[in-house]
């Protein structure tokens, strides 16, 4: 299934220092059945027509994806929220990062006409590219392509 163009467009590119960026929420399920939220930036994912490639730290989110094989990516825009239901198709790893190709299965658009829905955002600091290892993340995303 094709990712809606209005969402795919929001997931393209790499954040730049000093910019304000969307916070993207990747939802998985813990071993005990509880929801698990992983906050991501565009530095950590890439979307094409039918899949999302994402890189997360080894640990909770990766363990959930390895065990369950499913996730939901929440993308909130001005006025609408999109829930992309995804399934693990491929996995690549480094020492501390794990990358996945997540096939897009279906989505839901959630909006109320005239609502004041606003996306969650963050400010890109000069430290982020280094502290979050964006170069290795981008290399891993490229290997998943």
Q: 3-state class of 143 per DSSP?
A: helix
The structure tokens 């430290």 sit at 127
pLDDT of residue 22: 94
Q: What is the pTM of this model?
A: 0.92
Give the closest residue to 55 by CA, choosing from 121, 140, 143.
Answer: 140
* CA atoms within a 13 Å half-sphere pointing along the CA-CB vector of 62: 16
The pLDDT of residue 82 is above 90: yes
The pLDDT of residue 47 is above 80: yes
| Residue 44, burial from CB neighbour count under 10 angstroms (0-12, 13-18, 19+) | buried
The pLDDT of residue 77 is above 90: no
The pLDDT of residue 1 is above 80: no
**To which H or E segment does residue 62 belong?**
helix 60-68
Give the closest residue to 48 by CA, choosing from 120, 111, 142.
Answer: 142
pLDDT band at 95; cut points 50, 70, 90: confident
């Amino acid at each position: 299934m094709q990712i809606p163009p209005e969402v795919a467009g929001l997931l393209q590119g790499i954040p730049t220092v000093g910019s304000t960026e969307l916070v993207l929420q990747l939802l998985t399920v813990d071993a005990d059945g509880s929801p698990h939220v992983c906050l991501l930036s565009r530095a950590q994912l890439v979307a094409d027509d039918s899949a999302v490639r994402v890189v997360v730290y080894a640990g909770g989110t990766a363990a959930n994806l390895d065990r369950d094989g499913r996730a939901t990516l929440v993308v909130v825009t001005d006025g609408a929220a999109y829930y992309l239901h995804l399934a693990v198709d491929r996995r690549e790893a480094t020492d501390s990062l794990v990358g996945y190709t997540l096939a897009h299965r279906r989505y839901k658009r959630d909006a109320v006409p005239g609502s004041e829905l606003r996306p969650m955002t963050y400010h890109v600091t000069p430290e982020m590219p280094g502290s979050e290892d964006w170069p290795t993340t981008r290399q891993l995303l490229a290997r998943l392509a």
